[in-house]
């Protein structure tokens, strides 16, 4: 009890120190300049499109330069084996042809070309060890160039998807090289070529498979099979694999406005022996996924290049396709946008419960989705849904570090609806919400998020490192990276100013909780 | 079965102004029915203007009292829905 009181005594000074986290003119200046910086990035990214012809010219010069500057090693090899010289030139030439051809294929990505080029050279180097020297030079040069180019033009972080996507480009590259130089045929026709094709791995944001869905599954397209790994609903981790013969159709739809691809895979079910190719929907499993990736077209090309079968079965469809009855994104729980929402038939559309089976699940209806239109207010369901959505994307370990309250917690805690003169008693407010957190140890969390709604405006309160309150000493403030504090993030500065005081007044809520934990 | 259906449990629904309404329900009652009767008592046409919470958990209108694990004497919070906007950052 004495402990609690001493903490109380310490609180006012702490609150005083928290003024560091308030907005000040200084902050605004910093934010402005950072905004400017970000804008320059944006512009750079947009202007990034170079003409493929320019690129070709550049690469030709580039290749030419290498052959002139690397003259010495060429001559060195020359007197070892005469015939190799010709082939060597071919490599360089083919390098540039590949570059030019692939630039026609994907004119927008510069760094791709470099990767392609270096890949070609690598394959050349593998098969003709005597010629290692020259290609190697161009590999390193090509890579350096690629890196430079990347650093200059592309402030994008390459993630796993991109990396594999680039790797898988080996396949188209090889084929093109084949056309470019005739004397390398034997390399192309090696039987184990298939194994060298790197599978394309996609991590869709959402997969619907049979009756369940998943947000954390991985889909691997390799040259012989499609593999699905992940956890579905409340079931155990799940793996399934289909050979290419099982593919009936692949429908791919690109929604440009949201940069998301919606793909339906019709696969032959393993149980049914009868191939029912006439009717796509019967006897087939439908696997649909949605993937947010601005570079989907490249991933798509990479998958198609893995095997001809992908290419044969691939249909690109548009959203306006009249043959489609539903959107793969919502699967059978479709929210039909065209559906006329009559005021009296408010129950005729289906709700989506997310995440299904979770006690904290939020059910979201068409009416809520409509609130996402411009110039409308967002309601609590949307806020809570989005919090659940973000939470669902985290892995288990991360989830343990955070706690998210729903959007009503603050209202209940601050007791905004009652007579303000009565609502000052923190203890009473704490009792209101005590049962909400009985199963959660709030002081074991790193961050606690509290959405706040007041006077038709949303803001967010973040309580950082509440656990440190017990042991934290103010002298350590500068050294420690875990400073217990409360941040209030409000997009309209000052609009929720009064509430900040409320939060500070509700510090007893945390003291009371500490008491319980101890 | 016959015995089970005769067993009623009492639920309290507490509004934001601390007024409490008592409901006597069957464990197999769908929550939506309770919500609708609460809303009509509050002179609301649509139960969807309220959100119902038990221990901070949203109660789904589609589930039954039993499915949600509500016990005799449990207190449900009824809150009016919240709307709000934000501000686009226009620096």
pLDDT per position as a tens digit, A132-158? 333 333 333 434 443 444 434 434 443
Question: Would you state the structure tokens that stand for residue A191, as one six-digit string?
Answer: 């039987």
Residue of A nearest to B15 (CA): A417
In a domain, B52, yes or no: yes
Average pLDDT over residues A317-336: 44
Within 8 A of B88 by CB-CB distance, chain A residues are: 491
pLDDT top residue among A401 and A274 = A401
Answer whether residue B38 is part of any domain.
Answer: yes
What is the number of residues in chain A?
518
Query: Under an 8 Å CB criterion, which residues of B touch A?
Result: 16-18, 46, 48, 51, 53, 55-58, 60, 62, 77, 79, 81-89, 91
pLDDT reported for residue B65? 92
Please provide residue A158's backbone torsions phi and psi, each rounded to the nearest 5 degrees.
-80, 125
Instruction: Return the axis-axis angle of helices A133-153 and A52-69, rounded to nearest 10°.
Output: 140
Average pLDDT over residues A11-19: 50
Distance from CA of A464 to the nearest CA of B (A): 21
Band (pLDDT 50/70/90 cuts) for residue A50 is: low
Q: Which of A377, A405, A409 sits opposite B85 (nearest CB)?
A: A377
Site of tokens 């493929």: A52
Q: Which domain holds residue B57?
A: 27-68
Comparison of pLDDT for A431 and A411, the residue scoring more = A411
Sort B50 into a burial class: Cβ within 10 Å, 0-12 / 13-18 / 19+.
buried
Yes or no, beta carbons of B56 and A346 under 8 Å apart: no
Q: A64-73, A348-357, A452-461, B28-37: which has the minimum mean pLDDT?
A: A64-73
Distance CA A97, CA A94 (A): 5
> Which residue would you say has higher pLDDT here, A503 or A276?
A503
Q: What residue of A is the nearest CA neighbor of B89? A: A491
Residues in chain B: 91
Q: Which of A412, A438, A456 sits opposite B83 (nearest CB)?
A: A456
Count of structural domains within chain B: 1
Please state the three-class secondary structure of A347-380 as a single string: CCCCCEEECCCCCCCEEECHHHHHCCCCCCCEEH
Measured from the Cβ of residue A294, the count of other Cβ atoms closer than 10 Å reads: 10
CA quadruple A303, A306, A310, A316: dihedral sign = positive
d(CA A136, CA A184): 18
Share of chain A above pLDDT 70, in %: 45
Q: Is the Cβ–Cβ distance between A160 and A116 less than 8 Å?
A: no
| pLDDT at residue B56 greater than cutoff 80 | yes
In this predicted model, which residue has the larger pLDDT, B77 or A252?
A: B77
Q: Which residue has the tokens 């729903």?
A: A406
Residue-level pLDDT at A156: 40
In a domain, B49, yes or no: yes
Query: CB pairs below 8 Å between A and B: how many?
Result: 84
User: Which residues of chain A make contact with B16, given a CB cutoff of 8 A?
Assistant: 411, 417-418
H/E stretch holding A433 reads helix A426-433
The predicted structure's pLDDT at residue A166:
39
In a domain, B47, yes or no: yes
**pLDDT category of residue B11 using cuts at 50, 70 and 90:** very high
Range with top average pLDDT, A62-71, A122-131, A237-246, A342-351: A237-246
pLDDT in tens, A447-463: 889 898 888 889 888 88
pLDDT of B53 higher than 50: yes
Q: What is the largest CA-CA distance in chain B?
A: 68
Instruction: State residue A438 phi and psi, 5-degree precision.
Output: -60, -30
Helix, strand or coil for residue A450? strand
For residue B13, pLDDT beyond 90 = yes
Provide the pLDDT for residue A6: 42
Domain for residue B58, yes or no?
yes
Q: A44, A153 in Cβ contact below 8 A?
A: yes
Q: Which residue has the higher pLDDT, A504 or A412?
A: A412
Q: At what angle do helices A133-153 and A110-127 cross, to 10 degrees?
A: 160
Residue B40 lies in a domain: yes
Among all residues of chain A, which has the CA nearest to that of B52? Answer: A408
Q: Which residue has the higher pLDDT, A26 or A104?
A: A26
8 A C-beta contact, residue A499 and residue A454:
yes
Chain B residues near residue A492 by CB distance under 8 angstroms: 86-87
pLDDT classification of A182: cutoffs 50, 70, 90: very low
Q: Which residue of B has its CA nearest to A363?
A: B60
Closest partner CB to B81 (pick from A35, A380, A456)? A380
Q: Residue B2: inside a domain, yes or no? A: no
* Chain B residues lying within 8 Å of A379, measured CB to CB: 81-84
pLDDT at A391 over 80: yes
pLDDT greater than 50 at residue A115: no
Q: Beta strand A218-221 with A212-214: parallel, antiparallel or unpaired?
A: unpaired
pTM (predicted TM-score): 0.47
Q: pLDDT, tens digit, for every residue of A352-373?
A: 788 777 777 888 888 888 888 8
pLDDT, residue A299, reads 86
Q: Is residue A73 over pLDDT 50?
A: no
**pLDDT tier for residue A57 given thresholds of 50, 70 and 90:** low
User: What does the pLDDT average to over B56-64?
Assistant: 88
pLDDT, residue A349, reads 56
CA atoms within 13 A on the CB side of A100: 18
As a whole number, the mean pLDDT across chain B is 85
What is the average pLDDT score of chain A? 63
Chain B residues lying within 8 Å of A435, measured CB to CB: 55-56
Q: How far is CA A169 from the centre of its chain?
A: 21
Q: Give the model's confidence band at A494: pLDDT under 50 very low, under 70 low, under 90 confident, else very high.
A: confident
Banded pLDDT at A422 (limits 50, 70, 90): low
The confidence band for B23, taking pLDDT boundaries of 50, 70 and 90, is very high
Residue B61: inside a domain, yes or no? yes
Question: For A416-423, which contacts have Cβ atoms below 8 Å and span 24 or more sequence positions?
Answer: A416/A454, A417/B16, A417/B17, A418/B16, A418/B17, A418/B18
Residue B10 in tokens: 């009492």
pLDDT digits (tens, 9 = 90+) for A212-259: 767 777 888 888 888 888 776 555 677 888 888 888 888 888 777 667
**DSSP string covering A263-330:** EEEEEE-SS--S---SSSSTTEEEEEEEEE-TTHHHHHHHHHHH-HHHHHHEEEE-TT-TT--S-TTT
pLDDT in the model for residue A61: 64
Strands A447-454 and A457-464: antiparallel
**ipTM for the predicted complex:** 0.87
């Amino acid at each position: 009890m004495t402990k609690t009181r001493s903490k109380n005594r310490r609180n006012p000074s702490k609150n005083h120190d928290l003024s560091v986290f308030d907005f000040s003119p200084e902050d605004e200046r910093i934010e402005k300049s950072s905004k400017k910086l970000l804008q320059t990035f944006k512009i750079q990214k947009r202007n990034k499109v170079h003409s493929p012809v320019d690129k070709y010219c550049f690469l030709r010069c580039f290749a030419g330069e290498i052959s002139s500057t690397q003259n010495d090693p060429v001559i060195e090899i020359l007197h070892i084996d005469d015939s190799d010289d010709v082939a060597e030139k071919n490599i360089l030439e083919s390098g540039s042809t590949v570059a030019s051809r692939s630039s026609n294929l994907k004119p927008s990505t510069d760094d791709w070309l470099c990767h392609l080029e270096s890949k070609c050279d690598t394959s050349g180097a593998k098969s003709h060890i005597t010629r290692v020297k020259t290609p190697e030079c161009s590999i390193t040069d090509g890579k350096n160039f690629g890196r430079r180019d990347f650093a200059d033009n592309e402030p994008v972080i390459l993630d796993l998807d991109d990396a594999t996507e680039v790797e898988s480009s080996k396949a188209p590259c090889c084929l093109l090289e084949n056309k470019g130089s005739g004397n390398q045929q034997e390399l192309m026709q090696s039987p184990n070529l298939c194994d060298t094709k790197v599978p394309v791995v996609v991590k869709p944001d959402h997969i619907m498979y049979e009756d369940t869905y998943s947000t954390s599954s991985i889909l691997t397209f390799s040259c012989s099979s499609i593999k699905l790994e992940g956890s579905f609903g409340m079931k155990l981790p799940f793996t399934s694999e289909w050979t290419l013969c099982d593919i009936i159709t692949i429908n791919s739809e690109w929604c440009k406005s949201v940069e998301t691809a919606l793909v339906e895979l019709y696969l032959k079910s393993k149980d049914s022996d009868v191939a029912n190719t006439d009717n796509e929907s019967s006897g087939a499993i439908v696997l649909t996924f949605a993937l947010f990736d601005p570079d989907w077209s490249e991933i798509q090309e990479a998958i198609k290049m893995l095997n001809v079968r992908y290419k044969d079965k691939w249909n690109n469809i548009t959203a306006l396709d009249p043959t489609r009855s539903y959107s793969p994104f919502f699967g059978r729980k479709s929210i039909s946008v065209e559906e006329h929402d009559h005021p009296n038939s408010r129950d005729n559309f289906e709700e989506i419960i997310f995440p299904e089976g979770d006690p904290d699940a939020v059910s979201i209806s068409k009416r809520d989705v409509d609130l996402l239109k411009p110039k409308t207010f967002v309601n609590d369901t949307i806020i809570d849904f989005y919090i659940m959505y973000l939470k669902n994307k985290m892995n288990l370990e991360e989830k343990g570090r955070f706690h998210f309250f729903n959007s009503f917690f603050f209202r209940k805690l601050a007791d905004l609806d009652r007579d303000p003169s009565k609502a000052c008693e923190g203890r009473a407010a704490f009792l209101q919400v005590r049962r909400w957190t009985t199963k959660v140890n709030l002081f074991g969390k790193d961050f606690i998020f509290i959405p706040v709604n007041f006077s038709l405006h949303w803001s967010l309160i973040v309580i950082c490192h509440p656990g440190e309150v017990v042991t934290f000493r103010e002298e350590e403030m500068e050294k420690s990276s875990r400073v217990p504090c409360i941040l209030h993030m409000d997009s309209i500065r000052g609009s929720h100013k009064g509430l900040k005081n409320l939060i500070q007044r509700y510090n007893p809520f945390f003291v009371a909780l500490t008491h319980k934990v101890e | 079965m016959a015995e089970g259906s005769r067993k009623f449990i009492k639920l309290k629904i507490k509004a934001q102004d601390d007024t409490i309404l008592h409901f006597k329900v069957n464990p197999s009652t769908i929550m939506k029915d309770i919500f609708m009767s609460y809303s009509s008592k509050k002179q609301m046409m649509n139960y969807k203007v309220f959100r119902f919470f038990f221990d901070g958990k949203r109660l789904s209108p589609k589930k039954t009292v039993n499915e949600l694990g509500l016990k005799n004497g449990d207190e449900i919070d009824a809150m009016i829905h919240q709307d709000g906007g934000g501000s686009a950052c226009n620096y």
